[in-house]
Structure 1
């Protein structure tokens, strides 16, 4: 299965490279990659979420809780236990254990790979937040400092996985892959909804010591993800103008969705542009400083 998968992916990457030369990021569906390759893209995000949540809540990650799933991959850089209130800690802890199950499910049913190098340091998040607001925050944003900071940092992650799964399903061929992704999608959507609801409850609260509210941060973070992905508006903050609200009648935006209240979709290349923080699927950085694992991610590095 791996050989034809690599050939199909390589052919499609040539098209992507041509698009990049012409300055146009690819925004369509991935149609030539195998189910194996497409689902493995998501495994990079599952590792990211697992380590961020487990270490944030418990102070220890996969190397302690499920070392076999890391498959010898390097430990994450800079992650540490967050200063969370008890409710947030219990929720994030549950999310972390859910991600352990996701890694196991993908690895056992599709095929896994070693944990990629992750950069979950305060500096990595601070860089993303500076990009989002358009100026250096003083002091630099620290996701581990308190509950509200950690929830805002979490706002960056599960939604990317959610729209990635939505974008993957139409390109999947086999029932087993579709069934697995649909099941993973349900939990990712639930995690994102919980995080957005917790933040919405504090939407008008100023995030100290910055002169920005929670809602303003979410708008800026969503705008950043849209800019990095380069394929239009597929991410929205917690407060939106009525024309972006449900049936053009709400300014609350607990669930980010399109004009028919359907989930937005992103392809694998949009996902890497966001997670790398570079806006370029060929240029690693951000949360995956050495790039992602799997045939698609590795192929993108080769064609850079």
Structure 2
């Protein structure tokens, strides 16, 4: 079964999986709770408490992915080799990636350049904080080709080009925004889910700072897509959110978290809420951002709702102890 089939099957089987998946993990203080929150690639490590280094390295993998996507979109090249290796271990390869012609929408180009610089700074910061414990960049696939992960994700969501059957996020500024939309909300929820598990207050403060930046990025992308005033783009965000929900399982909030205004039951607002015309900040009923566990994040970036240790944007998996979707 190829990657496209796995994603499509996951989308169609969403309802059944919700009965089988765990609810979003409860962030509790104490080493015991921390130790049970993450899934390790080696079952022998499952009994060990996760360390701050494990959490930061997991975040570093995601920052590698985002940095490469944005840097290629802006410059046509990715991270320098000095920011991908670790000790004697060389950084992995990058498949795909291309420079976007932002001349038709220079404002989006300005946003892209700023986000690219931010993501490279995040990589540098996490690598510095981890020191010799920092993992090298894994192999990353950001191809916009027919067999690439963007097309696989978009095909499952039903937003591929009707003529070519391909979703290429580097084709134009609008396609770039939709590609960025796939990542940004995931980054926010990943940091929200992981931050309470950090025991070092300095690292916790840093994670909170990165979470805020990722939220700014997500808001820029969502606002710009909404401001274009194209109903098809609004619908595309709804479909992408539904596809992400098909991958990360329960809870199901992401199903209703496109840029159209809907409440937590997926219904258009009524009464006093009827004045809402957008959903720039995807929040719960208490006005709080959602969280994702590491397993749910990996389900999305691996494009696989089942147990997996690789796939999608990380063809050989992420590096570090936390690498399974289980």
TM normalised by structure 2 equals 0.77
1:70 matched to which residue of 2?
Answer: 84
1:31 alignment partner in structure 2: 34
Contact 2:182 2:240 in 1 (8 A): yes
Report the Cα distance in structure 2 between the residues aligned to 1:197 and 1:169, rounded to whole angstroms. 26
Instruction: State whether structure 2 residue 238 is matched by structure 1 residue 224.
Output: no
CA contact (8 A) 2:159 2:167 kept: no
Specify which of 151, 158, 161 is matched with residue 177 of structure 2. 151
Give the CA RMSD over aligned residues: 2.3
Structure 1 residues 244 and 102 mapped into 2: Cα distance closer, same or farther (>3 Å)? farther
Q: Equivalent residue for 1:118?
A: 140
Q: Which residue of 2 aligns with 1:241?
A: 262
Change (3 A) 1:86 1:109: same
Q: Following the alignment from structure 1 to structure 2, what is the Cα–Cα distance between the partners of residues 254 and 117? A: 32
* 2:230 aligned to which of 187, 195, 204: 204
- 1:132-182 per-position Cα deviation (integer Å, ceiling 9, x unaligned): 128884311111111111100100012111101001122221102211101
Alignment partner of 1:132 is 2:157? yes
Counterpart of 1:209 in structure 2 is none
Count of paired positions: 270
Q: Distance in 2 between matches of 1:26 and 1:262?
A: 17
Which is worse superposed, 228-237 or 48-57?
Answer: 228-237
Q: Which residue in 1 is equivalent to 2:99?
A: 81
SS of the aligned residue for 1:77 comes to strand
Deviation at 1:76, TM superposition (A): 0.9
- How many angstroms does 1:276 deviate by? 0.5
1:58-97 CA distances to partner (integer Å, 9 max, x unpaired)? 111113xxx2111121231011111223222221111111
Q: Which residue of 2 aligns with 1:271?
A: 297
Give the equivalent residue in structure 2 for 1:194. 220
Q: Is the 2:249–2:296 contact (alpha carbons within 8 Å) kept by the matching residues of 1?
A: yes
Give the deviation of 1:107 after TM superposition.
1.1
